Amino acid sequence: DAGITQSPRYKITETGRQVTLMCHQTWSHSYMFWYRQDLGHGLRLIYYSAAADITDKGEVPDGYVVSRSKTENFPLTLESATRSQTSVYFCASSETALNTEAFFGQGTRLTVV
């Protein structure tokens, strides 16, 4: 099916563990984004990518690592998870840099215990 999919949908991990959230899109959109949604903050940008092998930091990048070896995939890794990273994570993609319309995945609810 065409679209943008995130996996897993739910994840519980322990403090200090490494965890990777996956994001896959089938439109061949150049731009991909990772946001986190927290109560009282709305959605905040973690990292974004303009193309394969091109990534850049967003508003809240600390503690996260991304890679983009293929256009369709944009995994987000928490190198050493902390409780403050408990959140809902959304991946998005868009066709142009102007971000006229970004398409979002269904989200990954991550709990760090």
Partner 1 sequence: DQQVKQNSPSLSVQEGRISILNCDYTNSMFDYFLWYKKYPAEGPTFLISISSIKDKNEDGRFTVFLNKSAKHLSLHIVPSQPGDSAVYFCAASANSGYALNFGKGTSLLVTP
Q: Which residues bind partner 1 (CB under 8 A)?
A: 31, 33, 35, 40-45, 48, 50, 56, 58, 90, 92, 97-107
- Based on CB atoms, which residue is closest to partner 1, 41 or 70? 41
In the chain, the amino acid numbered 109 is: R
How many residues in the chain? 113
Give me the least distance between CB of 7 and partner 1, in Å please: 13
Q: How far is the CB of 6 from partner 1 (least distance, A)?
A: 8
C-beta closer to partner 1: residue 14 or 98? 98
**Residue of 45, 25, 21 lying closest to 94 (CA atoms):** 25
Q: Smallest distance from the beta carbon of 66 to partner 1, in angstroms?
A: 13
For residues 23 and 81, which CB has a smaller minimum distance to partner 1 in the complex? 23
Q: Which is nearer to partner 1, 10 or 80 (CB)?
A: 10
Q: Based on the number of CB atoms within 10 Å of its own CB, is 67 exposed (0-12), middle (13-18) or buried (19 or more)?
A: middle
Please give the Cα distance from 24 to 61 (Å, whole number): 20
What is the H or E stretch that residue 68 is in? none
